[in-house]
Chains A and B, each alone.
Chain A
Amino acid sequence: MARSVCGWLAGISLAGCLAAPVLYIIGYVEAGTYRNILAVMSLSWFVFASAWAGRSSGQT
């Protein structure tokens, strides 16, 4: 996967982490769902951010 794609997906994952508690406090999701979304988005961040950091900056 290209480095820039990994970077974008990592950014989206981090934004997803931030969105999860907002959905919870406005009552859109329950506490359990919020925690699951956060866990999945966190895992996704580590996968894509590690891939982004691991690829050389020469790749696009």
Chain B
Amino acid sequence: MPSRLSLLTSRMDALYEYDREPVAPQQLKTGWQFASLFAGEHVAGTEFVIGAFFVLHGVNATDLIAGLLAGNLLAVLSWTFICAPIAVDTRLTLYWYLRRIAGPGLTAIYNVANAVLYCILAGAMIAVSATAIGLPLGVRTPALTDVYPSSFGWVLLTFATGAAFVTLAILGFEGLSRFARVCAPWVLVIFVVGAIAMLPRLGVHANLDNLWETSRTKIWNGVASPGQDKFSIWHVVFFAWFCNLAMHVGLSDMALFRYAKHRAYGLYSAFGMYPGHTLAWLCSGIMVAGVDRQMDPGMMAAEAAGAAGPVAVVLAGWTTANPTLYRAGLALQCVTPNWPRWRATVVAGLVTTLLSCFPVIVMRLLDYVAIYGLVLMPVGAIVVAEHWLFPLLGIPRHMTGATGRMINGRAALVWAGTLAVCSVLPLHLFFRWLPGYILALVSYTLLHLRWRRE
């Protein structure tokens, strides 16, 4: 077993070899590059679903706007005060920093968990795109309550869409990344265009004098759709905050911020949060209200923006599923002996496509996003404890790396223990990560303090 784990970790190291060394000063990027990167990354196909769900969950207009502004501010601050400072201090990716802290064995487990979570996320993006492709083919989008595929047509459609996405991801990742940069501003504009065009249907006058009144009574009217929980401002604040939890508090965006000239570059994440996770969500809320709250992103976009709408849904899903599939393939490659990248991507794509058939991953997308962040969050807490708290308390850092152990047992215990506690906390799923994070931070530090005394 230890030899298998050693083999696996040495393979993984080879894959990530190119970023083993800290970033050199001449490789640092400008603020403008960070702003455009964030602006492009956070307008995904899933935004068509997330904003619409706030309407279905009966959030009222004031709570939604205040909640999105506050929650996204907390997300930007998390990037600025947690992720960017550690990345700028170390100039390393999370992979290499975690390797020193948690050991190569636990880092491998983290990688596999990440691959599985990426596959589910990419599956949701494929399913969202499939709703638009299925529109001219007459394939019915599953209902809100559907867990399993509702028709053979839906299964065929998601498989065909998934196969196309995976093929393109293998053939031209670089080319598609460039194309994604061209798509991103247009997709955001289609969100805004679709929302504006839906206003007359909702009864808004041409001079917009009743826009706020209509927003309060016909769009975010505070009434949840049948079968949906009622959300308060706190649900919105926490959702906007943890939507990218794995990236900021979970520290996976250290891969980006190691290129930052200054820790304050975390503030550039606002260029992703406010257009993507505020404006686009508000716009998709208006669009779903304009189609009587039917959760069908393809149909919703077609009604709002004609032929351009479904094209935007497909492109938004495709261009964001592409890097997600690439990352899943990369993470999977570390546990598959001698496989070329294309084969690992095909396997990740097959799993992703299979998952995309199940409507539950789209219809329960908000819950999945919460679980995704929750699973990876304790790792971020462990790194924060070791990076900032250990020096303050006089505890030696990076002992696992220094002693050459495969697994930091305390880190594994804290990760598993935190998830076990979070799974039974008597709180709504959206609120569990914060007490879990504090628990992970404190318990990891206390375990090391006790070990030091002994």
A→B interface (CB under 8 Å): 14, 17-18, 20-22, 24-27, 31, 34-36, 38-39, 42, 45-46, 49-50, 53
Contact = CB atoms under 8 A, between A and B. Distances in A.
Given A18-B189, A50-B182, A39 B306 contact: yes
B181 interface: yes
B447 to A, nearest CB: 51
Contacts of B182: 46, 49-50, 53
Given A17-B189, A53-B182, A25 B197 contact: yes
- Chain A binding surface SS class: helix
A35 B196 contact: no
B307 interface: yes
Contacts, number: 58
B206 A38 contact: no
A18 to B, nearest CB: 6
Contact of A17 (B179, B186, B206): B186
Interface residues of B, number: 22
B305 A35 contact: yes
Contact of A18 (B193, B200, B206, B311): B193
Contact of A42 (B194, B204, B206, B308): B308
A27 B193 CA distance: 15
Nearest to A17: B189
A53 B327 CA distance: 24
A45 to B, nearest CB: 5
A38 B305 contact: yes
Contact of A21 (B178, B179, B193): B193
Contacts of B178: 53
B308 A38 contact: yes
B409 interface: no
Contact of B196 (A14, A25, A42): A25
